[in-house]
Amino acid sequence: MKSLRRLGAVATLLAIPGASVRMSAQEGERPVFRVKVDMVVLAFNVTDNKGRYINGLKPSDFRILEDGIVQKIATFAEGNRPAVQVLEDGTTRPLIATTPESGGAGTASAAELRSDAFIGTNVFVLFDTSNYMYRGFVYASDAIADFIRGLDRADSVAVYTFSRNLNRASPLSRDRNDVITGLRSAVAGDDAALYNALLLTLRDASKVPGRKVVIVFSNGPDNASMVAPDDVRAVAEDEGIPIYVISTADATKDVTSSAVFRRISTRTGGKTYFAKTWQKQVEAFESIREDLGNSYTITYYPAQNPNEGFRKIAVEIVSDPGKKLRVRARPGYRPRAGF
């Protein structure tokens, strides 16, 4: 799926004001990137009107607007391939490959960003282990394990579980065995505080540079959260983290929870799947995996914008003048207060 052979576009937009990139020409041809607070990272998918992914687009195919103001693209990446720097003339060049030890030598910047920060996706799986999930607990665990095994090698994955409290069962890692060991250590039981847990997961994810998503695996009910779904959704929007939801409940059984799931996923650039059976759950994970593997990631510094409130972001595909490509994008983000 590497050629532009389908029409339509699905854009998932990641705006991450807390983790962005600035270039420094200190090493001649090989720029070093540092995280600064005002940078934005966008990740999105492009599909045709039949929902098929569109690949092979180039930076010059995109125009990013924030409140109608055109943005200058800083870096570009497709799928899990390394990000490239986008130069003034629209050409690209590779980013420096650094290791944590050597990265940013001489600058001592804690926020130094390795070029491989944009290779792969940081996937946070949030697994509901409350009393509500008691019956399907083991099947869910199997489905998540399958999903983890099938992720791209470049992806990192963390497994968090929650009931009344969050449990970081396995921190972000590329070692699948470690992660599955963490997953298999989950303990079932107690109340469900889904949105509390989702908030804490987003807070953790926001500290990680690069592209990240949160996948919630739950059947919906929440009887213990202090925060409302829409407040959590706002955090995901602002941090630029798409939320995917796999609900093991029937969408028609609990219309309110279903509506909430749909809203938080759509508004953050993710998707919701209602997968009551184990087979459907596996399919949902497969779909998410495809979504992740067929995405684009763009970073940019927001141009001067007096709006300190919600900034609307639009992704335009300039190579699609007929607007046949479908763009599904998050509406935008609120810049972080400069405090």
Partner 1 sequence: MRLHSAALLILLAAVSGQGQQDANTRARELESKGDGWGARTLLQQAANHGEPGAARDYAEFLDRHKDPAAREAYRTAIAAADGRESRIALARRLVLLDLIAGDYDSASKDLERYREYGGAEFSGSVKVPPASEAGPVAVVQIPGPIRSFSRMAALSPDLMPKDVLTALARNVVTNGYQASSSNEALEQTEYLKLVVRYLSQARELEKLAGAGKTIRIEQCESAEAADILRVLGYRMRGACGGDVVLETVNATRAFLTIDSGFPLAELEQALRTNRPFVYDYRPTEVPVLFGPEYWLSSRDKQGGVFIDVFLSDPSVCRLYLGLSKLDRETAEVLRKQMPAQKIRVLSHVIDFFGGMFQIRNGKAIVPGGAPSAKGWSDLVGESPDSGGAFFEKLIARDDGWMASYFDALARVDGPLQAYLTEPERMKRFYSALRGRVTSPGPARPVFRSNTDLMLLTTRLRVDSQGRAVIPGSIDVWKNLFINHPHGKYDGKLTRLATSWKEPDDVVEALFALCRKAVDNEPLKIFMALSDMDRRRTTPMRPETVDRLAREYRTYGAQYSLLNELPTLSDRTINAFLDTAKEISQIGNNELRADTAGTMQALAGLWQIFCRQRAISPDAADEALFELLAPFGRMREEYELFAAGVSGIKVLLKATGSTGSESPQDRMIALLAGSPSPADTDSHRQVVQDMMRIFEAQRLVSITSLMDLSEHLDRIAQGERLNTALVNRIVSRVSEINLPRASLSTAERNAFAFGYWTEKHIDNQRKLNLRAVIEKAGTDAEKLREVRGELAGFLRDTLVGFNYMHYAPPGAQVLYTNPLFVRSHDFLGMQGSVQTWRQTEVLGTGWPSSAGGRLVGSLSGLPYALAEAEQNFLVPTREQALIWGDLVPQMILSSKIPRWWNVSPSQVHWLALHLQYAESLLAESALNAEMRNKVLAELDKQAVPARVSLVDRLLEEGRVREALDNVTPSEAYGLSIRMLRTDAASGPIAVEIREMAKADPEHINYRAVSRAFGTPKPTLANSYNPELLNLRTFPTLMGYSSRIMAESWESSMLYYAALADEMHLLPSQLNVLVPEWTQKTVEQIFATHLEDWPALLRSLRHVGDEFRARTRKQFAAEQKASLE
Q: Which is nearer to partner 1, 110 or 255 (CB)?
A: 255
How far apart are the C-alpha atoms of 332 and 207, rounded to whole Å? Answer: 19
Q: Figure out which of the listed residues 113, 235, 241, 315 binds partner 1, where binding follows CB under 8 A.
A: 235
Binding residues among 139-178 for partner 1 as defined by CB under 8 A: 139, 141-142, 145-146, 149, 163-169, 177
CA distance 229 to 259: 11
Considering only 5-13, 28-36, 52-60, 199-207, which stretch makes contact with partner 1 by CB under 8 A?
A: 199-207
Stretch that binds partner 1, among 13-21, 74-82, 118-126, 216-224 (CB under 8 A): 216-224
The answer to whether 158 touches 123, Cβ cutoff 8 Å, is yes
Q: Single out the residue of 55, 75, 196, 218 in contact with partner 1 (rule: CB under 8 A).
A: 196
Interaction between residue 225 and partner 1 (CB under 8 A): yes
* Cα separation values, 330 from 6, 82, 102, 240, Å: 22, 24, 36, 9
311-317 and 62-66 beta bridge pairing: antiparallel
What is the three-class DSSP state of 279? Answer: helix
| C-alpha to C-alpha distance for 91 and 157, rounded to whole angstroms | 32
Least separation, in Å, of the C-beta of 233 and partner 1? 9
Minimum gap (Å) between residue 100 Cβ and partner 1: 21
Sheet architecture: strand order including 332-333? 69-70, 62-66, 311-317, 332-333
Q: How many residues bind partner 1 (CB under 8 A)?
A: 55
3-state secondary structure of 229: helix
* Phi and psi at residue 302, to the nearest 5°: -60, 135
Decide if residue 312 touches partner 1 (CB under 8 A). Answer: no
Site residues for partner 1 per CB under 8 A: 135, 137-139, 141-142, 145-146, 149, 163-169, 177, 180-181, 183-188, 190, 193-196, 199-200, 203, 222-232, 235, 255-257, 259-260, 263, 308-309, 337, 339
